[in-house]
A and B are shown apart, each in its own frame.
Chain A
Amino acid sequence: QKEVEQNSGPLSVPEGAIASLNCTYSDRGSQSFFWYRQYSGKSPELIMFIYSNGDKEDGRFTAQLNKASQYVSLLIRDSQPSDSATYLCAVNGWNNQGGKLIFGQGTELSVKP
């Protein structure tokens, strides 16, 4: 079992729709959860992070965390073509394990005009 799993996609949504990206993780002691966006040929850029159960909203983005189910998701409302990118879920271990982030394989999102 992979430590952090995401559907690789591609996930295609029409402009204006809600895009839902999902991530599961195997380490029950995981502490913090991050969503990075990576455009093709560019570096990962932090979108949101969450460490408490529930929802966290920032503009069009909402991160949802359910530690009991070991599940974290990212919702993008009113999706725009500029949101088309690969979204990386990353997890920080319970003792931070030397600070490392464990990444999923990424979900490619395509927003069609």
Chain B
Amino acid sequence: DTAVSQTPKYLVTQMGNDKSIKCEQNLGHDTMYWYKQDSKKFLKIMFSYNNKELIINETVPNRFSPKSPDKAHLNLHINSLELGDSAVYFCASSPKLAGAKNIQYFGAGTRLSVL
């Protein structure tokens, strides 16, 4: 059983389109995250949610809208896709929001290519 699963794994689309990425975790964790990894492999936080509540919005353009219907799911909708949005998007989850031993577990990633 995959602990943190994302769909789709690959997404190829045209500039200006709207697309969504879904994430689900079956670990019973309270906290979920979206990270973006650029072509230089730099991994940066975008959002964090704790029990469906938005905690972090790391100065991400408002074309990106996360939604958490319940604490096991965190989806990412992107409007008006731009070339610069091409990256790998990782979903992650952790048992809780804070704590020295609060380990984050990552999904397999969604490789988004905007043409």
A-to-B contact residues, CB < 8 Å = 31-32, 34, 36, 38, 42-46, 49, 51, 86, 88, 92, 95-103, 105-106
- Of the candidates B41, B56, B105, the one whose C-beta lies within 8 Å of that of A97 is B56
CA distance A106 to B105 in the complex (A): 18
B: contact size bracket:
20 to 34
B101–A103 CB distance below 8 A: no
A96–B56 CB distance below 8 A: no
CA distance A62 to B50 in the complex (A): 32
B102 is an interface residue with CB less than 8 A from chain A: yes
CA distance A43 to B90 in the complex (A): 8
Measured CB to CB, the closest approach of chain B to A10, in angstroms, equals 12
CA distance A91 to B91 in the complex (A): 18
- Chain B residues, Cβ within 8 Å of A96: 97-99, 102
B1 is an interface residue with CB less than 8 A from chain A: no
- Of the candidates A31, A95, A98, A105, the one whose C-beta lies within 8 Å of that of B40 is A105
Besides A98-B48, A98-B97, 13 more A-B contacts (Cβ < 8 Å) are A32-B100, A32-B101, A34-B104, A42-B108, A43-B109, A46-B105, A88-B43, A92-B100, A92-B102, A99-B50, A100-B45, A106-B42, A106-B43
